[in-house]
Amino acid sequence: MACVRLAFLDQPRPIAFAHRGGAAHRPENSWPAFEHAVGLGYTYLETDARATADGVLVGFHDRTLDRVTDARGKVSALRYRDVAAARIGGTEPIPLIEDLLGAWPGARFNIDLKDTGAIGPLAQVLRRTAAWDRVCITSFSARRLRAARRLLDRPVCMALSPAGITAMRLAGPHPVRRFGQVLAGRLALLGVGCAQVPARIATAAFLHGAHALGLQVHVWTLNRRHEMERALGLGADGIMTDEIAMLRALLTERGQWQPGPREAGGAG
């Protein structure tokens, strides 16, 4: 069965994702990180979404500012003016999701919903930017994914929920035989086009089962060459990495690198 047809996933595979913008090279989820990834030719950028106390959506991974910035406090408990004053690594401002979408109209963003409070602001951002086909929403919470699906004005690409991944693992390489053909149609109606999983889950059996349901499999977060090679050898449809220069070099060697709009145009 062919993979679910979603605009977000319509590029040749394997897809290269710059995890948190490519955190091995620049401060994670910072403007320099995303700029570097785009300069290398990356089309797919992975980031995280959290909302401030006053409902502003920022690209930030942790619950608190403490680990990666020069400030402290829980993001969801702080007003945006306070979060905006924090500096990643002491130098870089925390970007707004809306600004990231606007900065690179040709880029696609894999957005990990980190808290329930981010769902409403994300829907508002997508309405203002009309970036429906340029995002894929994922989360470690099935409840968040369901809430986002209810709130969005139109379908967007979504990753399989944790519960769905567990069911896939139990089904083994033949989920259609176990769950019936109707499941593939149900996933398509929900906009579920991919399963995003760590390497330990991305076995040959899991990939076979996901592909049987029309789902791409994206493996995270692979930062060593042999891990990338293994996933590609198994037939992974995408790889998320902090080591974006390494992944680009490997895919180039294999004749599988797909340059983004900037690189194809001769820049970067």
Q: For 111, phi and psi rounded to 5 degrees?
A: -110, 120
- How many angstroms separate the CA atoms of 192 and 6, rounded? 9
Task: Tell me whether strands 135-138 and 238-241 are parallel, antiparallel or unpaired.
Answer: unpaired
Side-chain-facing half-sphere of 54: CA atoms under 13 Å: 7
The residues, any chain, with a CB within 8 Å of residue 181's CB and separated by 6 or more, are: none
Block residue for tokens 């929920």: 161
Q: Which of 19, 36, 211, 218 is catalytic?
A: 19
Q: Is 226 a catalytic residue?
A: no
70-103 per-residue burial string, b: 16 or more CB within 10 A, e: under 16: ebeeebbebebebbeebbbeeebbbbbbbebbee
Side-chain-facing half-sphere of 160: CA atoms under 13 Å: 28
Q: Which of 25, 61, 218, 226 is catalytic?
A: 61
CB 17 within 8 A of CB 81: no
Q: Is 218 a catalytic residue?
A: no
H/E element, 175: helix 175-179
**Residue positions annotated with a catalytic role:** 19, 61
